[in-house]
A and B are shown apart, each in its own frame.
Chain A
């Protein structure tokens, strides 16, 4: 009866997400990254001088920086930076109507259900294909309220004063090697600005698609919620299944000004040939709330630790993450909470499921700065192992420079317990149903935070995991 309950995770990936279009590009940079390539990207985009210089400086930093010393050293060491295309521009201009998107690309996004989702429950959508955003829309009423939602390149062109004010202030190129790489080669991503006291009630979504082989996608996202504003942003991502590796390395900066609220939801489902090495960080000012809701299902190696700097009094930060690691996958994910002001609160809930030869790691930092009195933080890590080879590690770090703080930390590793299975089976549930129920229960705290449509999709993925898992 021993069997692999999530053997089928993403078993329909090939047909559902893993297909690819024939390559038909306006411009495809040769492999490798150099000052020439950076110059070409900047010139192509007709960027202001400061950005061109920023890219070149970032490239120097990238070339000098060592690889991160943490995470999966073996897999990190296998990345061949010279075997990647750093910029690919698909044909066609950015469209505001799906009918104006080139046919093959439109077909791709149709297949991924993006236009349908937009019609049903989104207030705005950007769709990025390789290096560029090919489609973008925002509901008129939001635009009239002064909400800006566009791709990052357009943001830089049309709103230079806001972009320049916040650009790389939260994640400088010197932060880490992959932040430097993104700073040098960035293209696409989202730019969002929500004016004071404006509530965007319906989510905005970006969908990122890699199509080419050996592709590097370096989107750059900057979200600013002005005083008292709120916004929920969702990103999804998929790629074709190739035998060679692609690299996705994003930089995401969030600024929640006084009393603002930002929720950032990710459903990462890259194919298992994609390295997903992402830097995400937010500043939460006085009374602001920032939430990262982070789901990692796909990729070969993910290294991602969404961070929140609680900069103003009574700011609140939450990271809620779930990771699935199947055979050949390593999800090295976690969270960072920096309490830099008094009376700030935070919560981290991290759930991971490792099955087969999959591996998941929780890597977290909670830091309370001197003077940040009366802070409260709780960290909860839950790992579920399925099968004898599955592996999970927890690397929590606490740096507390203040006495008057409340800290809770809980870490649990459990095996999908035979006793749970027996209990459910003794009530007539077959083993497949029983496993599905246990796994769904395990991730329920995460699923419950998703918009309904995403919860349904995630549950569907989990159900697929269970199909054919017995016998």
Chain B
């Protein structure tokens, strides 16, 4: 599909064990710069585990290799991966009470850019991102994810992606729990964040968001394995046929 030079992100034979149980069973992925990929699978298939493992979740036992721009990531701590340009939009972002959204964003942006950002410059950038996602200014002073509605949390995840400008973003179920208006806003944010030099992997078990963010490649993930990859039409097919026809026993080899 593309030459090796444009491969932005790849993982090879990725296996993840959680509490001794193998959840991800040898995944190979290759994502080219400028593309949007979707990873679809039913609940419990291990999608979220895969996403968190790619980001370096400390509680997981991970084997295999992860590369960003050909650089190995698999040995790095999550914060180093983030500074290198990886990003994980969480399905359930945790609250950090007492820490304001603004101070958190500034710390994150400082870490990503590796330099102090003057307050005024930061404020301007933050407010621009707020506006793009239709977030009110008062949001900046609230405590991080503390008492946020599901939709507010998801908007904040997308906002962080817009500000931090990752090269490769994993978005875990970013569309779940959103009403249609919020979904449109979030989709706009996702589309905005993908340019010729970066890529996104949408992890989802609904086809819903894919009506707004049309993926270049759709991967089907079942029971810890990638069982099929295809174009955007694969998502539509999953919507009508479900996943059963693709279970490893019936689907055969990829």
Contacts and interface: CB of A to CB of B under 8 A. Distances in A.
Contact of B99 (A426, A428, A437): A437
A427 B156 CA distance: 13
A414 to B, nearest CB: 10
Contacts of A433: 107, 111
Interface in A402-428: 417-428
B111 A426 contact: no
B84 to A, nearest CB: 9
A1 B77 CA distance: 9
Contact of B112 (A428, A443, A445): A428
B98 A428 contact: no
A440 B99 contact: yes
A444 B57 contact: no
B99 A423 contact: no
A438 interface: yes
Interface of A is mostly: helix
Interface string B102-122: 001001100110000000000
A426 B169 CA distance: 11
Given A422-B58, A426-B55, A433-B107, A443 B98 contact: yes
B90 A428 contact: no
A422 B82 CA distance: 11
B212 interface: no
A444 B82 contact: no
B9 interface: no
B97 A426 contact: no
Interface string B73-88: 0000111011100011
B49 to A, nearest CB: 13
Given A418-B59, A429-B107, A440 B98 contact: yes
A326 interface: no
A430 B79 contact: yes
Contacts of B57: 422
B18 interface: no
Given A426-B87, A429-B107, A419 B96 contact: no
Given A427-B108, A428-B83, A428-B164, A1 B58 contact: yes
A428 B143 contact: no
A433 B107 CA distance: 9
A425 B111 CA distance: 10
A441 B102 CA distance: 13
A325 to B, nearest CB: 19
Given A1-B58, A422-B58, A429 B79 contact: yes
Nearest to A417: B94
Contacts of B248: none
A426 B92 CA distance: 14
A426 B96 contact: no
B160 interface: yes
B54 to A, nearest CB: 11
A431 interface: yes
B108 A444 contact: no
A421 B88 CA distance: 14
Contacts of B56: 425-426
A429 B111 contact: yes
Given A1-B58, A419-B94, A427 B164 contact: yes
A424 B88 CA distance: 11
Interface in B138-162: 143-144, 160
A418 B18 CA distance: 15
A78 B143 CA distance: 44
B59 A437 contact: no
B98 A445 contact: yes
A98 interface: no
B143 to A, nearest CB: 7
B190 to A, nearest CB: 18
B231 to A, nearest CB: 30
A442 interface: yes
A437 B77 contact: no
Contacts of A429: 79, 107-108, 111
A423 B108 contact: no
B26 interface: no
**What 5 A-B pairs come out closest when comparing CB atoms?**
A441-B98, A428-B111, A444-B98, A441-B99, A427-B108
Interface of B: 52, 55-59, 77-79, 81-83, 87-88, 90, 93-94, 96-99, 104, 107-108, 111-112, 143-144, 160, 164
12 contacts: A418-B58, A422-B55, A422-B57, A426-B79, A428-B79, A428-B82, A429-B79, A429-B111, A431-B79, A437-B104, A437-B107, A441-B96
